[in-house]
Amino acid sequence: MPPQHDRIRAAERLTKPLYASWAEARALLDGLPGGGLNIAHEAVDRHVAAGKGARLAVRWLAKDGSTRDLTYADLQTLANKFANVLAGLGIKRGERVFSLLGRVPTLYAAVLGTLKAGAAFSPLFSAFGPEPARSRMEIGDARVLVTTAAFYKKKIAPVRDALPGLRHILIVGDGADDVPGGVALDEALVKASAEFKIVATKPSDTALIHFTSGTTGKPKGAVHAHEAVVAHHVTGAYALDFRKGDVFWCTADPGWVTGMSYGIIAPLTNAITMIVDEADFDAERWYDILQDQRVNVWYTAPTAIRMLMKAGEAPIKARDLSRLRFMASVGEPLNPEAVTWSAKAFGIPFHDNWWQTETGGIMIANVPGLDVKPGSMGKPLPGIVAAIVKRSDGGTVEEIEEPMQMGELALKPGWPSMFREYLNEPARYAKCFADGWYLTGDLAKRDADGYFWFVGRGDDVIKSAGHLIGPFEVESALMEHNAVAEAGVIGTPDPVAGEVVKAFVVLKPGVEGGEETRKSILAHARVKLGPAIAPRTIDFRKNLPKTRSGKIMRRLLKARELGLPEGDLSTLESDEK
């Protein structure tokens, strides 16, 4: 368990929060000299100006085992050089720079340099194929793409003619001569000046564009302003327990909003050291990183946690993880079983939290010092007003006051990292708001103690014989069975009940998926949930279809089960039935 002084300090944060209002949170940042606000200035420049330039900002762990360290002064130099490269190309304020890169150091220079130049940055996940990359760059009106020659040839060249506005291709590493119009970025950075006068951006100026995973429609481009840094900074400190001298590891790729908000901006604004691992998931490698890099705060995804659970506790016991003080999870709800397991295996639990691409930052969390209720998202952060609501047929919104009644999770607008628009879709944006609320599309409950509990996306909820069944509740119960590694739940048509619950289950290694196992899991679910909510049938699978950010794609399970159109698969991970 954490040392006593850590528990006391965490509890004190609840009674003496870092900020009581967004105005107080804004006062914790410097702002630009002469006025204005810029994310890159708060993340890097102000620390260098305060004499912290020698502090380690990024430790990059390459796939081959080598490392590269970047201080805050190093980051400032690289960002300035990248901003000068953009200026030399004639990129103007507000124009869009996209990246299609793995987790390499140049990506971080590109993010910060773009923001310094007053342009907007939009990261693409490196596993995207040609069509997902094309659609996002088309919606975002990309002017610059930062990528590698290999990625260009495989992913961009096939769709290049569909992107007439894309003027510049900046190639990281070798091969620029083989790319039509390609610019050798490494060479350009060497030649560029290390001095750059940051563009005087306003808090409302566009800084970042993040594309949602999409369901059946085209991806939505959620626009975030420089003011988002106010929320990134304080929520990192408050919800993730950042402290001076910390080593922090966010495993999310910067191609997703978590990897940007909490994999780049929040740790840098708090002047701590962040670990960046180039390699893909590997349980042994991850545990080595936690030990060898002496990680204090770890932020990862439920999918990864469940994969670590499969590996068992032996790898944890074989390592010294005593520096690990706080662990948090995001991306989809964290099953209670994973919270219980982590508390036993690590001596501290994973703390779940909730937010969306649209919110830009953490809204509801199990913060340090707050008693964790396994399966709960926690409580709203300071400055966040959340409620459970129902929409009437007339479009009005009414709060549900009674505890543990299911409704839509809604937030009062006005937090700094709130998205400002969906690119080119004003009507779609307007539908997200009603009667003074931002309507999240997520169904949830709030208990008598003020904790929020995720039920499911509005279109995932199963309506069976008058019951509204949240798939997350069923999946969590299934995972408590000692044979189950993962579960996904959908509703299938039934002539009497309307819908009945069907489960798709991934078994733990070494477990046979025979009829005896099926009956055992079904019996467990009926005892745990009751016959009205428990699955009627179970199919065993090698894995579940997920987005590349780790969310189970229940609507894809349902489409395949019912023979319906599968819709947008641009963010689908490869999956095996």
Backbone angles phi, psi at 225, to 5 degrees: -100, 170
pLDDT for the residue numbered 212: 83
Q: Where in the chain is CATH 3.40.50.980?
A: 70-226
Q: What is the 3-state secondary structure (H, E, C) of 128-178?
A: CCHHHHHHHHHHCCEEEEEEEHHHHHHHHHHHHHHCCCCCEEEEECCCHHH
The token duo for 245 is: 């001298």
**What is the 8-class DSSP label of residue 42?**
I
Residue 305 pLDDT: 92
Residues of the chain with pLDDT under 70: 1-16, 213-217, 465-468, 548-550, 565-577
User: 437-446 and 433-434: which strand pairing?
Assistant: antiparallel
Evaluate whether 316 touches 291 at the Cβ level (below 8 Å). Answer: no
Stated as kind and residue range, the H or E segment containing 274 is strand 273-277
Structure tokens, 180:
């039509």
In angstroms, rounded to a whole number, what is the distance separating the alpha carbons of residues 137 and 97? 9
Structure tokens at 267: 């740790």
- Residue 566's alpha-carbon distances to 217, 553, 563, in angstroms, are 11, 11, 8
Q: Which residues contact 50 (CB under 8 A, 6 or more apart)?
A: none
pLDDT at 494: 79
**Residue 55, pLDDT score:** 98
Taking a C-beta distance cutoff of 8 angstroms, is the pair 85, 188 a contact? yes
How is 476-539 classified by DSSP, letter by letter?
HHHHTSTTEEEEEEEEEEETTTEEEEEEEEEEPTT---SHHHHHHHHHHHHHHH-TTTS-SEEE
Q: What is the pTM assigned to this prediction?
A: 0.84
The amino acid at residue 435 is: D
Q: Which element (helix H / strand E) includes 364?
A: strand 364-365
CATH topology of domain 70-226: Rossmann fold (3.40.50)
Overall residue count recorded for the chain in this entry: 577
Residue intervals of the chain classified under CATH 3.30.300.30 are 459-562
Question: Whole-angstrom Cα distance, residue 456 to residue 243?
Answer: 33
Please report where in the chains the tokens 């409704």 appear, as a residue. 407
By C-alpha distance, which of 341, 278, 349 is closest to 307? 341
CATH of domain 459-562: 3.30.300.30
pLDDT confidence of residue 310:
85
Integer angstrom CA distances of residue 45 from 71, 188, 196, 225, 496 = 12, 22, 11, 19, 65
Which DSSP helix (H) or strand (E) runs through 257?
helix 257-260
Tokens representing residue 5 in the block: 């002084």
* Residues forming a β-bridge with 182: 169
